[in-house]
Amino acid sequence: MEKNNSQNKVGLFDEWAFGKKNYLLFAAGLALVIFGYIFMASGEVNSFQSLTLAPIMLFLGYIVVIPIALVFREKDKN
């Protein structure tokens, strides 16, 4: 019976859910977050860059792009 169980086990990386597109989307989201913080830190206190552009970039990175990268799956061609 143990022999049967060992054949049915699926390894952790046998059906890895992340593909190349997932990693590219995650990298894009991470870049948005990093550049958002850079823009926020380098702008003056009451500038467009610090008050508008940086928060929009951070929102898009954290709330839109990174979650899409985590849940995106390509459709099977079969």
User: What does the pLDDT look like over 32-43, one tens digit per residue?
Assistant: 999 999 999 998
Q: What is the pLDDT of residues 21-64, one digit of tens each?
A: 999 999 999 999 999 999 999 989 999 999 999 999 999 999 99
Q: Which of 37, 34, 73, 28 is nearest to 55 (CA)?
A: 37
- Cβ pair 33, 62 in contact under 8 A: yes
Q: Give CA angle at 66 (22, 55), nearest 5°.
A: 150
| Distance, CA of 69 to CA of 1 (rounded, Å) | 40
Structure tokens belonging to residue 78: 């079969």
By residue count, the chain amounts to 78
Do residues 39 and 2 lie in contact, with contact meaning Cβ atoms separated by under 8 Å?
Answer: no
